[in-house]
């Protein structure tokens, strides 16, 4: 196996940093101006987390490409970390948004699009009754409340190393078998050990132990971990999860926000999962804030029975702009005409092409790295074989290599998702886009370990 020469890596990193500064003067100038009125110099704190001395600033985006303020056009494999999985500005969605904006953006009254989108969500995911909101974080927060309300139980179970948005209960991790607050948890309301049990992914024994006391309202699970590399479930894992939830009267919530990459009905439809509730956000409205949570008829009956009708507006589930006319128009156009069943077939083919290309480079150089794919999403990780849980995946992170590959790609006009090495295919992505990544990735590796 090839080993990485760390001093060579540091040398290359210096060279790439210098190249980045030289080729992005306008972004550098805007980053300086932004210090005046933006906290951290960016509109949202995590936009600082790019390699290079400052973020690149965007001039415009279209399809699977965007152009920065220095006039460089990039292949975008990040796609707004799934927010733009439908591609940037698909024409049908833009037209529908423009048309709806002119007719009313938000009214606190339903529009007909809501019925179309509800029916489509039901068809896609097989879960019967739906509500709409603006972010996946909100969808998750609302279902946790509903699950606690209908079960009369307080605890929530999440996977170790999972991420479900900025939801208080989910900021928990395992340390020597104990539940502790995740490192970096900003201003926790309470110690997450009070609200949450944490189990390793793919560990049914640990899950049974967590559910045994009968005080768990719900499990909030991604079908595959996607925020610490991609960690796929063992073959019988989801059957076991479903059976244990049923046995202990715990509701099963599946978060499809990222795993929608597995197909039009997400991992749930593709692998016949049977969640009690399902959440999803990010991509539904082609980037217009849109999210949804659905539930089975059986759960809906319990929810309705426990509803405080008069206090519905202040009960902790909802939001003034949730379910607004604009986001429903965007969802209808996106689901109806952009992220279609046929589009997913093409996107998956590109995912396979991407994976094959990276795999070939890894094999040629005998690197102890691997790549995992889930539908149209793929991610490479710096360990020899697929991780079976979050701890193993975390051990496969390598911040130096990560930064080098991201910056090398960025300097050659390819954008990978920050924080990890994830690439996503949109309906607008082409084989040439994928091949561009493969050749630049090969170049980055050649330079590092010799061609």
Ligand X SMILES: Cc1ncc(COP(=O)(O)O)c(C=O)c1O
Taking the least distance from each CB to ligand X, the nearer of 170 and 438 is 170
Taking the least distance from each CB to ligand X, the nearer of 142 and 248 is 142
Number of H helices, E strands in the chain: 14, 16
Q: How many CA atoms lie within 13 A of 41 on its CB side?
A: 15
Taking the least distance from each CB to ligand X, the nearer of 417 and 429 is 417
Structure tokens at 283: 């991509």
Taking the least distance from each CB to ligand X, the nearer of 136 and 328 is 136
Q: Which residues touch 34 (CB under 8 Å, ≥6 apart)?
A: 41, 42
Residue 282's region, left for phi above 0, alpha for psi from -120 to 50, else beta, is left
Structure tokens at 100: 């709806």
CA-to-CA distance for 352 and 376, rounded, in angstroms?
8
Cβ-count burial 240-250 (b if 16+ within 10 Å, e if not): bbbebbeebeb
Taking the least distance from each CB to ligand X, the nearer of 85 and 300 is 85
Sign of CA dihedral 124, 130, 132, 137: negative
Q: Least distance to ligand X from the beta carbon of 400, Å?
A: 24
Q: Which position's Cβ is nearest ligand X?
A: 165
Q: Least distance to ligand X from the beta carbon of 140, Å?
A: 6
Sequence length of the chain is 451
Q: Least distance to ligand X from the beta carbon of 192, Å?
A: 17
Residue 66's region, left for phi above 0, alpha for psi from -120 to 50, else beta, is beta
> What DSSP state is assigned to residue 3?
P
Q: Least distance to ligand X from the beta carbon of 147, Å?
A: 16
> What DSSP state is assigned to residue 250?
-
Taking the least distance from each CB to ligand X, the nearer of 137 and 421 is 137
**Are 233 and 259 within 8 A, CB to CB?**
no
Q: Least distance to ligand X from the beta carbon of 149, Å?
A: 21
**Chain positions contacting ligand X, by CB under 6 A:** 135-137, 140, 163-165, 222, 227, 255, 257-258, 281-282
CA-to-CA distance for 184 and 165, rounded, in angstroms?
14
Taking the least distance from each CB to ligand X, the nearer of 249 and 319 is 319
Q: Least distance to ligand X from the beta carbon of 226, Å?
A: 6
Q: Least distance to ligand X from the beta carbon of 201, Å?
A: 13
Q: Least distance to ligand X from the beta carbon of 337, Å?
A: 23
**Are 399 and 322 within 8 A, CB to CB?**
no
In a 3-state reduction of DSSP, which class is residue 347?
helix
Taking the least distance from each CB to ligand X, the nearer of 357 and 375 is 375
């Amino acid at each position: 196996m090839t080993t990485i020469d760390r001093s060579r890596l540091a040398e290359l990193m210096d060279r790439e940093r210098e190249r980045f500064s030289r080729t992005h003067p306008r972004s550098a100038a805007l980053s300086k101006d932004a210090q005046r009125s933006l906290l951290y110099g960016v509109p949202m704190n995590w936009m600082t987390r790019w390699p290079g001395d400052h973020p690149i600033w965007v001039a415009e985006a279209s399809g699977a490409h965007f152009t920065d303020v220095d006039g460089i056009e990039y292949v975008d494999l990040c796609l707004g970390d799934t927010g733009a999985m439908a591609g940037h500005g698909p024409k049908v969605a833009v037209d529908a948004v423009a048309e709806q904006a002119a007719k009313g953006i938000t009214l606190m009254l339903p529009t007909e699009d809501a019925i179309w989108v509800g029916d489509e969500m039901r068809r896609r995911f097989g879960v019967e009754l739906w509500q709409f909101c603006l972010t996946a974080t909100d969808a998750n927060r609302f279902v946790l409340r509903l699950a606690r309300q209908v079960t009369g139980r307080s605890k929530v179970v999440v996977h170790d190393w999972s991420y479900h948005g900025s939801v208080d209960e989910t900021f928990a991790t395992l340390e020597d078998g104990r539940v502790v607050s995740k490192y970096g948890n900003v201003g926790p309301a309470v110690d997450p050990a009070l609200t949450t049990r944490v189990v390793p992914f793919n560990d049914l024994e640990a899950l049974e132990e967590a559910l045994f006391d009968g005080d768990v309202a719900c499990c909030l699970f991604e079908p595959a971990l996607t925020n610490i590399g991609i960690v796929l479930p063992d073959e019988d894992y989801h059957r076991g999860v479903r059976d244990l939830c049923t046995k202990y009267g715990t509701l099963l919530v599946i978060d499809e926000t990222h795993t929608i990459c597995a197909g039009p009905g997400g991992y749930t439809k593709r692998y016949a999962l049977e969640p009690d509730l399902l959440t999803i956000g990010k991509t539904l409205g082609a980037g217009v804030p849109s999210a949804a949570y659905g539930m089975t008829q059986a759960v809906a009956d319990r929810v309705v029975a426990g509803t405080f009708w008069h206090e519905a507006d202040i009960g902790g589930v909802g939001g003034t702009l949730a379910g607004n006319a604009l986001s429903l128009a965007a969802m209808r156009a996106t689901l109806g005409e952009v992220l279609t069943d046929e589009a997913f077939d093409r996107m998956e083919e590109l995912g396979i092409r991407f994976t094959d290309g990276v795999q070939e480079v890894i094999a040629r150089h005998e690197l102890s790295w691997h790549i995992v794919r889930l539908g149209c999403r793929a991610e490479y990780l710096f360990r020899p074989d697929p991780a079976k849980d979050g701890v193993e995946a975390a051990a496969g992170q390598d911040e130096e290599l990560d930064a080098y590959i991201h910056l090398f790609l960025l300097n050659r006009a390819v954008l990978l998702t920050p924080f990890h090495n994830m690439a996503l295919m949109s309906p607008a992505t082409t084989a040439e886009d994928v091949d561009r990544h493969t050749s630049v990735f090969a170049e980055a590796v050649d330079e590092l370990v010799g061609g």
